[in-house]
């Protein structure tokens, strides 16, 4: 807000200096009025031009922001769809793994362990040599 006050004071001071210069200059009052009116009209034209420029810039910004929002919305939607399909695939894969029959693997494992256990019980000498090496 301080910048706005400074700018207003600057413009007001400039206008006062301009008016004082024109009033003290050796011109007729008609010439002075015409010059002041011309300068005021120029100032109004410039102000209108700046207002139009600001309006156009705001419209462009609104359009760009809308386009960016639409793009981001589309991206988020497609990412969500991809995540849903990946989750469905993972669920189906997990269900397929769960439905796999591991009974044959379990039986093979049990028979392998059973064979190893039987082989160990048949050779008692190996147990004695194992205990001797652990004592050393």
The pLDDT value given to residue 32: 76
Structure tokens of 31?
């010439």
The mean pLDDT value of the chain amounts to 79
Handedness of CA 94, 100, 104, 106 (dihedral sign): positive
- Which range is most confident: 25-29, 121-125, 129-133? 25-29
- Res 10: pLDDT: 86
**Could you tell me the residue ranges of all domains in the chain?**
19-122
Alpha carbons 118 and 111: distance in angstroms, whole number = 10
Render pLDDT for 42-101 as a digit per residue (tens, 0 to 9). Answer: 999 999 999 999 999 999 999 999 999 999 999 999 999 999 999 999 888 887 776 665
Give me the pLDDT at residue 49, please.
Answer: 93
What is the SS3 assignment for 50?
Answer: helix
Cα gap 36→28, rounded to integer Å:
12
| Token couple for 64 | 């760009």
* Concatenated DSSP letters of 107-130: HHHHHHHHHHHHHHHH-HHHHHHH
Q: Quickly state the pLDDT bin for 36 (edges 50, 70, 90).
A: confident
Look up the pTM and report it: 0.39
More confident: 108 or 132: 108
- What's the confidence (pLDDT) of residue 24? 77
């Amino acid at each position: 807000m301080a910048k706005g006050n400074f700018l207003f004071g600057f413009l007001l001071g400039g206008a006062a200096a301009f008016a004082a210069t024109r009033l003290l200059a050796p011109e007729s009052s008609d010439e002075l009025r015409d010059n002041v009116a011309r300068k005021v009209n120029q100032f109004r034209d410039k102000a209108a031009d700046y207002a139009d420029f600001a309006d156009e810039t705001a419209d462009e910004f609104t359009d760009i922001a809308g386009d960016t929002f639409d793009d981001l919305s589309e991206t988020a939607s497609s990412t969500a769809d991809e995540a849903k399909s990946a989750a469905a695939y993972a669920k189906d894969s997990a269900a397929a793994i769960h439905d796999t029959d591991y009974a044959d693997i379990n039986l093979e494992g049990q028979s392998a362990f059973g064979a190893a256990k039987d082989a160990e019980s048949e050779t008692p000498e190996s147990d004695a040599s194992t205990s001797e090496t652990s004592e050393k």
